[in-house]
């Protein structure tokens, strides 16, 4: 299969995954702490926040942020990632 055909297939696949309503990375980041807190509380965050769930399935960068935040909160914010996340949220006025 040549490169042009592979690129075209990737584009078609990406288009097939799009939804009528989506969020970008900035909006996902704004909602991520609430999504993670729901997950840690045993609630169905994916059902409550389907746009965030959809974005996390598609975006590796945001999925990585989700994983880091999840681990930081599991540590109770005591580890280096938790402290960094707290400082970042404070600097952005999110808590």
What are the DSSP E strand ranges found in 1-95?
none
Instruction: Please check whether residue 32 is in contact with residue 66, taking contact to mean a CB–CB distance below 8 angstroms.
Output: yes
Instruction: Give me the count of residues in the chain.
Output: 95
CA distances from 85 to 42, 48, 79 (A): 22, 23, 10
Give the start-to-end residue ranges of the domains of the chain. 24-91
Provide the whole-model pTM: 0.62
Per-residue pLDDT reduced to its tens digit, 9-45: 776 665 555 666 889 999 999 999 999 999 998 999 9
Unique residue bearing structure tokens 């297939």: 9
């Amino acid at each position: 299969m040549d490169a042009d055909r592979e690129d075209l297939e990737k584009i078609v696949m990406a288009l097939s995954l799009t939804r009528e309503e989506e969020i970008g990375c900035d909006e996902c980041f704004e909602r991520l702490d609430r999504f993670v807190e729901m997950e840690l509380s045993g609630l169905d965050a994916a059902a409550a926040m389907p746009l965030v769930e959809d974005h996390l399935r598609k975006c590796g960068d945001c999925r990585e942020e989700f994983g880091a935040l999840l681990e930081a909160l599991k540590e109770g914010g005591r580890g280096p990632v938790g402290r960094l996340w707290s400082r970042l949220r404070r600097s952005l006025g999110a808590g």
